[in-house]
Protein backbone atom coordinates (compact mmCIF):
# COMPACT_ATOMS: atom_id res chain seq x y z
CA UNK A 1 0.00 0.00 0.00
CA UNK A 2 1.28 3.49 -0.77
CA UNK A 3 2.50 5.68 2.09
CA UNK A 4 0.96 9.04 2.95
CA UNK A 5 3.72 10.89 1.04
CA UNK A 6 3.77 8.65 -2.03
CA UNK A 7 4.74 10.78 -5.04
CA UNK A 8 6.67 13.39 -3.02
CA UNK A 9 10.36 13.66 -3.88
CA UNK A 10 12.72 14.94 -1.20
CA UNK A 11 16.33 15.90 -1.81
CA UNK A 12 18.31 15.49 1.40
CA UNK A 13 21.39 17.67 1.18
CA UNK A 14 22.17 17.08 4.83
CA UNK A 15 24.60 15.22 7.02
CA UNK A 16 25.11 13.84 10.55
CA UNK A 17 21.74 13.91 12.32
CA UNK A 18 19.12 16.70 12.36
CA UNK A 19 18.65 16.84 8.58
CA UNK A 20 18.80 13.05 8.14
CA UNK A 21 16.19 12.64 10.91
CA UNK A 22 13.83 14.88 8.94
CA UNK A 23 14.57 12.88 5.79
CA UNK A 24 13.95 9.48 7.38
CA UNK A 25 10.66 10.68 8.93
CA UNK A 26 9.43 11.66 5.45
CA UNK A 27 10.86 8.51 3.87
CA UNK A 28 9.03 6.32 6.39
CA UNK A 29 5.80 7.96 5.21
CA UNK A 30 6.50 7.00 1.62
CA UNK A 31 8.41 9.96 0.19
CA UNK A 32 11.18 9.26 -2.34
CA UNK A 33 14.12 10.67 -0.37
CA UNK A 34 17.28 11.07 -2.41
CA UNK A 35 20.26 11.56 -0.13
CA UNK A 36 23.00 13.61 -1.78
CA UNK A 37 26.40 12.92 -0.21
CA UNK A 38 29.56 14.89 -0.74
CA UNK A 39 32.59 13.68 -2.62
CA UNK A 40 35.04 12.73 -1.36
CA UNK A 41 34.03 10.86 1.77
CA UNK A 42 30.27 11.12 1.99
CA UNK A 43 28.25 11.89 5.11
CA UNK A 44 30.52 12.32 8.15
CA UNK A 45 28.35 9.80 10.00
CA UNK A 46 30.05 7.12 7.88
CA UNK A 47 33.14 7.73 10.02
CA UNK A 48 31.34 7.63 13.37
CA UNK A 49 32.77 4.31 14.52
CA UNK A 50 33.01 1.99 16.32
CA UNK A 51 30.76 0.14 16.10
CA UNK A 52 30.89 -1.08 12.53
CA UNK A 53 28.69 -3.66 10.83
CA UNK A 54 31.07 -5.10 8.29
CA UNK A 55 32.66 -1.98 6.83
CA UNK A 56 29.63 0.27 7.48
CA UNK A 57 29.08 2.63 10.41
CA UNK A 58 26.16 1.49 12.58
CA UNK A 59 25.33 5.16 13.17
CA UNK A 60 25.06 5.84 9.43
CA UNK A 61 22.91 2.76 8.88
CA UNK A 62 20.49 3.91 11.59
CA UNK A 63 20.00 7.43 10.27
CA UNK A 64 19.60 6.71 6.57
CA UNK A 65 17.24 3.79 6.06
CA UNK A 66 14.54 4.14 3.38
CA UNK A 67 16.63 6.52 1.26
CA UNK A 68 18.22 6.29 -2.17
CA UNK A 69 21.74 7.66 -2.23
CA UNK A 70 23.92 9.49 -4.72
CA UNK A 71 27.37 11.04 -4.29
CA UNK A 72 28.30 14.34 -5.98
CA UNK A 73 31.22 16.74 -5.98
CA UNK A 74 29.36 20.06 -5.90
CA UNK A 75 32.55 21.96 -6.70
CA UNK A 76 32.40 20.57 -10.26
CA UNK A 77 30.15 21.71 -13.09
CA UNK A 78 28.77 18.19 -13.54
CA UNK A 79 27.93 17.82 -9.86
CA UNK A 80 26.14 21.16 -9.86
CA UNK A 81 24.29 20.35 -13.08
CA UNK A 82 23.02 17.05 -11.68
CA UNK A 83 21.86 18.66 -8.44
CA UNK A 84 20.18 21.49 -10.32
CA UNK A 85 18.28 19.01 -12.49
CA UNK A 86 17.36 16.94 -9.44
CA UNK A 87 16.02 19.98 -7.59
CA UNK A 88 13.91 20.85 -10.61
CA UNK A 89 12.07 17.54 -10.11
CA UNK A 90 11.80 17.77 -6.32
CA UNK A 91 9.08 18.83 -3.91
CA UNK A 92 11.34 19.34 -0.89
CA UNK A 93 14.97 20.20 -0.19
CA UNK A 94 16.42 19.54 3.27
CA UNK A 95 19.77 21.21 3.98
CA UNK A 96 21.89 21.78 7.09
CA UNK A 97 25.00 23.45 5.70
CA UNK A 98 26.71 26.36 7.43
CA UNK A 99 25.16 29.71 6.57
CA UNK A 100 26.27 30.96 3.14
CA UNK A 101 27.74 27.66 1.88
CA UNK A 102 24.92 26.80 -0.51
CA UNK A 103 24.57 30.42 -1.61
CA UNK A 104 28.20 30.36 -2.76
CA UNK A 105 27.52 27.17 -4.73
CA UNK A 106 24.43 28.66 -6.37
CA UNK A 107 21.88 26.65 -4.33
CA UNK A 108 20.67 29.21 -1.80
CA UNK A 109 16.97 29.69 -1.21
CA UNK A 110 16.48 32.51 -3.72
CA UNK A 111 18.30 30.69 -6.53
CA UNK A 112 16.54 27.36 -5.95
CA UNK A 113 13.14 29.02 -5.51
CA UNK A 114 13.60 30.72 -8.89
CA UNK A 115 14.49 27.35 -10.43
CA UNK A 116 11.52 25.55 -8.84
CA UNK A 117 8.91 27.87 -7.27
CA UNK A 118 6.95 24.89 -5.90
CA UNK A 119 9.90 23.62 -3.87
CA UNK A 120 9.73 23.59 -0.06
CA UNK A 121 13.23 24.57 1.07
CA UNK A 122 13.95 23.41 4.63
CA UNK A 123 16.99 24.73 6.47
CA UNK A 124 18.23 23.24 9.73
CA UNK A 125 21.03 24.89 11.65
CA UNK A 126 22.40 25.46 15.12
CA UNK A 127 20.54 28.70 15.80
CA UNK A 128 18.32 29.48 12.80
CA UNK A 129 18.90 31.61 9.72
CA UNK A 130 18.17 34.93 11.46
CA UNK A 131 19.32 36.59 14.67
CA UNK A 132 22.75 37.39 16.11
CA UNK A 133 23.85 33.72 16.23
CA UNK A 134 22.76 32.80 12.70
CA UNK A 135 26.32 32.34 11.43
CA UNK A 136 27.38 30.09 14.29
CA UNK A 137 27.78 26.38 13.84
CA UNK A 138 25.66 24.22 16.06
CA UNK A 139 26.09 20.95 17.93
CA UNK A 140 23.67 19.12 20.19
CA UNK A 141 25.84 19.60 23.28
CA UNK A 142 26.07 23.35 22.71
CA UNK A 143 22.34 23.63 22.01
CA UNK A 144 21.46 21.64 25.13
CA UNK A 145 23.51 24.04 27.21
CA UNK A 146 22.22 27.26 25.65
CA UNK A 147 18.57 26.18 25.50
CA UNK A 148 18.47 25.64 29.27
CA UNK A 149 18.23 21.85 29.11
CA UNK A 150 21.49 21.31 30.95
CA UNK A 151 20.27 23.70 33.63
CA UNK A 152 17.38 21.37 34.46
CA UNK A 153 19.03 17.98 33.86
CA UNK A 154 21.01 16.18 36.55
CA UNK A 155 20.75 15.05 40.14
CA UNK A 156 20.33 18.39 41.86
CA UNK A 157 21.78 21.82 42.65
CA UNK A 158 25.51 22.13 43.09
CA UNK A 159 26.30 19.16 40.87
CA UNK A 160 28.10 19.26 37.51
CA UNK A 161 25.83 20.03 34.52
CA UNK A 162 24.52 16.94 32.72
CA UNK A 163 23.26 16.63 29.14
CA UNK A 164 20.31 14.50 28.17
CA UNK A 165 21.77 11.14 27.17
CA UNK A 166 20.23 11.17 23.69
CA UNK A 167 21.10 13.99 21.20
CA UNK A 168 17.66 15.39 21.90
CA UNK A 169 18.05 18.75 20.11
CA UNK A 170 19.28 17.06 16.92
CA UNK A 171 16.42 14.57 16.93
CA UNK A 172 13.77 17.12 17.91
CA UNK A 173 15.00 19.57 15.27
CA UNK A 174 14.59 16.85 12.65
CA UNK A 175 11.06 16.10 13.82
CA UNK A 176 10.19 19.83 13.86
CA UNK A 177 11.59 20.15 10.35
CA UNK A 178 9.47 17.25 9.11
CA UNK A 179 6.42 18.86 10.73
CA UNK A 180 7.23 22.20 9.11
CA UNK A 181 7.71 20.56 5.71
CA UNK A 182 4.31 18.88 5.94
CA UNK A 183 2.73 22.22 6.82
CA UNK A 184 4.44 23.89 3.87
CA UNK A 185 3.29 21.13 1.52
CA UNK A 186 -0.28 21.65 2.72
CA UNK A 187 0.05 25.40 2.13
CA UNK A 188 1.44 24.67 -1.35
CA UNK A 189 -1.68 22.64 -2.12
CA UNK A 190 -3.65 25.87 -1.63
CA UNK A 191 -1.26 28.43 -3.15
CA UNK A 192 0.81 26.47 -5.67
CA UNK A 193 4.03 27.91 -4.21
CA UNK A 194 6.72 26.51 -1.97
CA UNK A 195 8.39 28.42 0.83
CA UNK A 196 11.31 28.31 3.21
CA UNK A 197 11.06 26.32 6.44
CA UNK A 198 13.66 27.29 9.05
CA UNK A 199 14.29 25.60 12.41
CA UNK A 200 17.26 24.95 14.64
CA UNK A 201 18.80 22.87 17.39
CA UNK A 202 18.50 25.87 19.72
CA UNK A 203 14.74 26.11 19.23
CA UNK A 204 14.43 22.33 19.43
CA UNK A 205 15.95 22.52 22.91
CA UNK A 206 13.76 25.44 23.96
CA UNK A 207 10.53 23.60 23.09
CA UNK A 208 11.57 20.85 25.52
CA UNK A 209 11.34 23.37 28.40
CA UNK A 210 7.59 24.08 28.34
CA UNK A 211 7.03 23.29 32.04
CA UNK A 212 10.22 24.94 33.28
CA UNK A 213 9.72 28.03 31.11
CA UNK A 214 6.14 28.32 32.40
CA UNK A 215 7.53 28.36 35.94
CA UNK A 216 10.28 30.87 35.11
CA UNK A 217 7.94 33.22 33.24
CA UNK A 218 5.42 33.13 36.10
CA UNK A 219 7.85 33.46 39.01
CA UNK A 220 11.03 35.02 37.67
CA UNK A 221 12.96 32.05 39.09
CA UNK A 222 14.78 29.44 37.01
CA UNK A 223 13.93 25.86 38.02
CA UNK A 224 16.92 23.63 38.61
CA UNK A 225 17.57 19.92 38.11
CA UNK A 226 15.38 17.40 39.95
CA UNK A 227 16.95 14.11 38.94
CA UNK A 228 14.06 11.98 37.70
CA UNK A 229 11.51 14.22 39.42
CA UNK A 230 8.85 16.50 37.95
CA UNK A 231 8.79 20.28 38.50
CA UNK A 232 5.00 20.38 39.03
CA UNK A 233 3.86 16.97 40.36
CA UNK A 234 4.90 14.57 43.12
CA UNK A 235 5.60 11.76 43.55
CA UNK A 236 6.56 11.43 39.90
CA UNK A 237 10.06 9.94 39.73
CA UNK A 238 12.26 6.86 39.97
CA UNK A 239 12.64 4.90 43.20
CA UNK A 240 15.15 2.15 44.03
CA UNK A 241 13.62 -1.27 44.58
CA UNK A 242 15.14 -4.40 46.10
CA UNK A 243 16.78 -5.25 42.77
CA UNK A 244 16.61 -2.22 40.47
CA UNK A 245 14.60 0.92 39.77
CA UNK A 246 10.97 1.73 39.04
CA UNK A 247 9.31 4.89 37.77
CA UNK A 248 6.07 5.86 39.48
CA UNK A 249 3.67 8.45 38.09
CA UNK A 250 1.35 9.56 40.92
CA UNK A 251 0.69 12.77 39.03
CA UNK A 252 -2.70 13.66 40.56
CA UNK A 253 -4.66 13.15 43.76
CA UNK A 254 -6.39 10.00 42.53
CA UNK A 255 -3.15 8.24 41.66
CA UNK A 256 -1.50 9.47 44.87
CA UNK A 257 -4.20 7.81 46.97
CA UNK A 258 -3.96 4.69 44.83
CA UNK A 259 -0.20 4.60 45.39
CA UNK A 260 -0.60 4.94 49.15
CA UNK A 261 -3.07 2.06 49.09
CA UNK A 262 -0.67 -0.13 47.08
CA UNK A 263 2.15 0.71 49.49
CA UNK A 264 -0.10 -0.15 52.45
CA UNK A 265 0.87 3.19 54.00
CA UNK A 266 -2.35 4.91 55.14
CA UNK A 267 -0.32 7.16 57.41
CA UNK A 268 0.99 8.98 54.32
CA UNK A 269 -2.54 9.81 53.15
CA UNK A 270 -3.27 11.26 56.59
CA UNK A 271 -0.05 13.28 56.80
CA UNK A 272 -0.88 17.00 56.31
CA UNK A 273 2.51 17.54 54.63
CA UNK A 274 1.32 15.35 51.76
CA UNK A 275 -2.37 16.25 51.66
CA UNK A 276 -2.35 17.90 48.23
CA UNK A 277 0.00 18.04 45.27
CA UNK A 278 1.08 21.53 46.32
CA UNK A 279 1.88 20.21 49.80
CA UNK A 280 3.82 17.30 48.36
CA UNK A 281 5.88 19.60 46.14
CA UNK A 282 6.72 21.90 49.08
CA UNK A 283 7.72 18.88 51.19
CA UNK A 284 9.27 16.81 48.41
CA UNK A 285 12.46 15.78 50.29
CA UNK A 286 10.39 14.50 53.21
CA UNK A 287 8.05 12.70 50.81
CA UNK A 288 10.94 10.94 49.06
CA UNK A 289 12.46 9.97 52.42
CA UNK A 290 9.12 8.46 53.47
CA UNK A 291 8.61 6.52 50.22
CA UNK A 292 12.15 5.24 49.59
CA UNK A 293 12.25 2.48 52.24
CA UNK A 294 8.82 1.25 51.21
CA UNK A 295 9.91 0.74 47.59
CA UNK A 296 13.16 -0.89 48.68
CA UNK A 297 11.21 -3.68 50.38
CA UNK A 298 10.14 -5.45 47.16
CA UNK A 299 11.59 -6.26 43.75
CA UNK A 300 10.75 -4.24 40.65
CA UNK A 301 8.76 -7.16 39.21
CA UNK A 302 6.72 -7.51 42.41
CA UNK A 303 5.85 -3.80 42.43
CA UNK A 304 4.97 -3.83 38.74
CA UNK A 305 2.63 -6.78 39.20
CA UNK A 306 0.89 -5.06 42.12
CA UNK A 307 0.65 -1.68 40.35
CA UNK A 308 -0.66 -3.19 37.13
CA UNK A 309 -3.45 -4.98 38.96
CA UNK A 310 -4.32 -1.73 40.76
CA UNK A 311 -4.18 0.42 37.61
CA UNK A 312 -1.30 2.48 39.01
CA UNK A 313 0.96 4.15 36.36
CA UNK A 314 4.45 2.70 36.72
CA UNK A 315 7.24 1.18 34.65
CA UNK A 316 10.74 -0.27 34.98
CA UNK A 317 13.91 1.61 34.10
CA UNK A 318 15.21 -0.42 31.16
CA UNK A 319 18.59 -0.55 29.47
CA UNK A 320 18.64 -0.01 25.71
CA UNK A 321 19.05 -3.75 25.12
CA UNK A 322 16.11 -4.48 27.44
CA UNK A 323 14.00 -1.89 25.63
CA UNK A 324 14.84 -3.37 22.23
CA UNK A 325 13.78 -6.83 23.43
CA UNK A 326 10.63 -5.65 25.20
CA UNK A 327 7.43 -7.28 23.87
CA UNK A 328 5.74 -3.89 23.41
CA UNK A 329 8.68 -2.67 21.32
CA UNK A 330 8.36 -5.74 19.13
CA UNK A 331 4.56 -5.62 18.96
CA UNK A 332 4.75 -2.02 17.70
CA UNK A 333 7.35 -3.07 15.09
CA UNK A 334 9.92 -0.64 16.47
CA UNK A 335 12.71 -3.07 15.59
CA UNK A 336 12.62 -4.22 11.96
CA UNK A 337 14.96 -5.99 9.54
CA UNK A 338 16.22 -4.52 6.27
CA UNK A 339 18.23 -5.99 3.41
CA UNK A 340 21.49 -4.08 2.90
CA UNK A 341 23.33 -4.08 -0.44
CA UNK A 342 26.55 -5.51 1.01
CA UNK A 343 25.76 -6.59 4.58
CA UNK A 344 22.61 -8.63 4.05
CA UNK A 345 20.04 -8.54 6.86
CA UNK A 346 20.44 -5.53 9.18
CA UNK A 347 18.18 -4.58 12.08
CA UNK A 348 17.11 -0.98 12.55
CA UNK A 349 14.45 1.01 14.38
CA UNK A 350 10.97 1.06 12.89
CA UNK A 351 8.58 3.86 11.95
CA UNK A 352 7.23 5.58 15.08
CA UNK A 353 3.91 6.77 13.59
CA UNK A 354 1.25 4.27 12.50
CA UNK A 355 -1.39 4.97 9.82
CA UNK A 356 -4.53 2.90 9.25
CA UNK A 357 -4.81 3.51 5.48
CA UNK A 358 -1.37 4.71 4.30
CA UNK A 359 1.07 2.71 6.42
CA UNK A 360 4.53 3.95 7.20
CA UNK A 361 7.18 1.32 6.60
CA UNK A 362 10.92 0.70 6.53
CA UNK A 363 11.38 -0.56 2.98
CA UNK A 364 15.13 -0.40 2.37
CA UNK A 365 18.42 -0.23 4.23
CA UNK A 366 20.71 2.79 4.17
CA UNK A 367 22.52 3.19 0.85
CA UNK A 368 26.19 2.56 0.29
CA UNK A 369 28.08 5.63 -0.91
CA UNK A 370 26.76 6.45 -4.39
CA UNK A 371 24.71 3.25 -4.55
CA UNK A 372 21.95 4.78 -6.69
CA UNK A 373 24.06 7.08 -8.88
CA UNK A 374 23.36 5.21 -12.12
CA UNK A 375 19.67 4.78 -11.35
CA UNK A 376 19.00 8.40 -10.46
CA UNK A 377 21.34 9.88 -13.06
CA UNK A 378 19.43 7.91 -15.71
CA UNK A 379 16.12 9.24 -14.39
CA UNK A 380 17.51 12.77 -14.83
CA UNK A 381 18.94 12.11 -18.29
CA UNK A 382 22.61 11.93 -17.28
CA UNK A 383 25.08 9.18 -18.02
CA UNK A 384 26.81 7.23 -15.26
CA UNK A 385 30.18 8.90 -15.79
In whole angstroms, what is the distance from residue 366 CA to residue 5 CA?
19
The DSSP string of 3-17 is -TTTT-EEEEE--TT
Catalytic member of 43, 91, 140, 170: 170
> CB of 362 within 8 A of CB of 335?
no
260-283 pLDDT, tens digit each: 999 999 999 999 999 999 999 999
* pLDDT reported for residue 157: 83
> CB of 380 within 8 A of CB of 83?
no
Short-list 290, 312, 284, CA closest to 223: 284
* pLDDT reported for residue 160: 94
Residue 322 has pLDDT above 80, yes or no: yes
* pLDDT reported for residue 385: 63
Greater confidence, 384 or 282?
282
Q: Output DSSP code: residue 273.
A: G
First to last CA, the chain: 35
Mean pLDDT throughout 180-199? Answer: 98
* pLDDT reported for residue 321: 98
Phi, psi of 250 (to 5 degrees): -90, 75
Share of the chain above pLDDT 70, in %: 100
Q: In the structure, what pLDDT confidence band is assigned to residue 383 with cuts at 50, 70 and 90? A: confident
In whole angstroms, what is the distance from residue 311 CA to residue 85 CA?
58
Share of the chain above pLDDT 90, in %: 97
* pLDDT reported for residue 28: 98
- Mean of all residue pLDDT scores within the chain: 97
User: Is the peptide bond preceding residue 235 cis, with omega within 30 degrees of 0?
Assistant: yes
Residue 343 has pLDDT above 80, yes or no: yes
Mean pLDDT throughout 184-191? Answer: 98
33-69 pLDDT, tens digit each: 999 999 999 999 999 999 999 999 999 999 999 999 9
* pLDDT reported for residue 239: 98
Within 199-252, residue ranges assigned H as helices are 201-206, 210-219
Residue 363 has pLDDT above 70, yes or no: yes
Q: In the structure, what pLDDT confidence band is assigned to residue 89 with cuts at 50, 70 and 90? A: very high
Q: Is 257 helix (H, G, I), strand (E, B) or coil?
A: helix
Global pTM reads: 0.95
Q: Is 170 a catalytic residue?
A: yes
H or E segment to which residue 280 belongs: helix 277-282
Amino acid sequence: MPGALEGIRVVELAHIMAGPVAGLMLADMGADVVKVEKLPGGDDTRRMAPPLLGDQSAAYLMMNRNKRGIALDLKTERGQAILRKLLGTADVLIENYRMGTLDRLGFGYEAVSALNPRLVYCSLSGFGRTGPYAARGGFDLVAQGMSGLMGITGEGPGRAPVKVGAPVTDITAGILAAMGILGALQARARTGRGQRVDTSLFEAGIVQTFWQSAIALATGVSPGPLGSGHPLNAPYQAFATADGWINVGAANQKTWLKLVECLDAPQLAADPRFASNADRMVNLPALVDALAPLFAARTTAAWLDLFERAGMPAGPVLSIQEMLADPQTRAREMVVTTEHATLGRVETLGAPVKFSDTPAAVRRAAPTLGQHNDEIFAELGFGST
